[in-house]
Amino acid sequence: MVPLSWFLFLAAALFSIGLFGVLSRRNAVAILLGIELMLNSVNINLAAFWRYGNVLHMEGQVFAVIVFAVAAAEVAVGLALVISVYRKRNTVIADDIDMMKW
């Protein structure tokens, strides 16, 4: 069986890619994509720890399912916000959306 550490490395890599995307992409939609990557890397961790722990305890899988649901909801709200911003300001570039600054 594949050792646990592989899964963890995969998850860490995926998380870093997502984080990089979130921090470096200028497009708000792309930032949302990065967030999805980070969330899903966590899901890999959850599934892996469940499989290598006590299989009869279903918390890991259940938790992963809840994260999917939250992620889907989050994307729905996020995209709606992006569209709303686009309609108001005609841009989806994160750096341009700076109304909250001092």
Partner 1 sequence: MTTETLIWLIPLPPVLAFFLIVLLTNKNKALSHTIGVGAAFLSWLGSMIVFVRALGVEHLGEHPFESWIPWLPTGDTWLEIGVLVDPTGAAVLFFVAWTIFMIFLYSVGYQNFGQPRGDHDHMGLPPHGATVEEQGHRHVVPSVEPMYSRFFAFLGLFAFGMYVLVLSDNLLTFFVGWEIMGLCSYLLIGFWYAKESARNAAIKAFMTTRVGDVFMLLGIAYLYSATGTLSFREIFTETILHTLATVPSGVLGLSAAGLIGLLLFIGTIGKSAQFPLHVWLPDAMEGPTPVSAMIHAATMVSAGVYAVVRMFPLISLDAQTMTIVAFIGAFTAIFSATIAVAQNDIKRVLAYSTISQLGFMIAALGIGAYVAAVFHLITHAFFKALLFLGSGSVIHGMEHGVLHTGNHKVDPQDMFNMGGLRRKMPITFWTFLIGGFALSGFPIITAGFWSKDEILADAFGHGHTAVFITLAVAAFLTAFYTMRQITLTFLGEPRTKEAEHAQETPWTMTLPLVILAFFAVTYGWVGIPEHFPLIGGLIPNWFHEFVGGTLAEHPEALEFRWEPLATSLFVALGGLFFGWQVYRNVNSAAEDRLQIPLLKNKYYFDEIYDRVFVKPAIWLAETFVSGWMDKGLIDGILHVFGPVTDRLGSFIRNYFDLPVINRFFGDGSADVTYWFGGKLRAVQTGRIQQYLMFALVVFIAVGAALYFFLLA
Residues forming the site for partner 1 (CB under 8 A):
19, 22-24, 31, 94-95, 97-102
Cα–Cα separations (whole angstroms), residue 56 to 4, 53, 60, 65, 73 = 18, 9, 10, 17, 29
Rounded to a whole number of angstroms, the minimum distance from the CB of residue 32 to partner 1 is 12
Rounded to a whole number of angstroms, the minimum distance from the CB of residue 81 to partner 1 is 12
Residue whose CB is less far from partner 1, 1 or 100 = 100
Cα–Cα distance measured from residue 92 to residue 85, given in angstroms and rounded to the nearest whole number: 7
Cα–Cα distance measured from residue 47 to residue 30, given in angstroms and rounded to the nearest whole number: 26
Residue whose CB is less far from partner 1, 50 or 82 = 82
Residue whose CB is less far from partner 1, 60 or 85 = 85
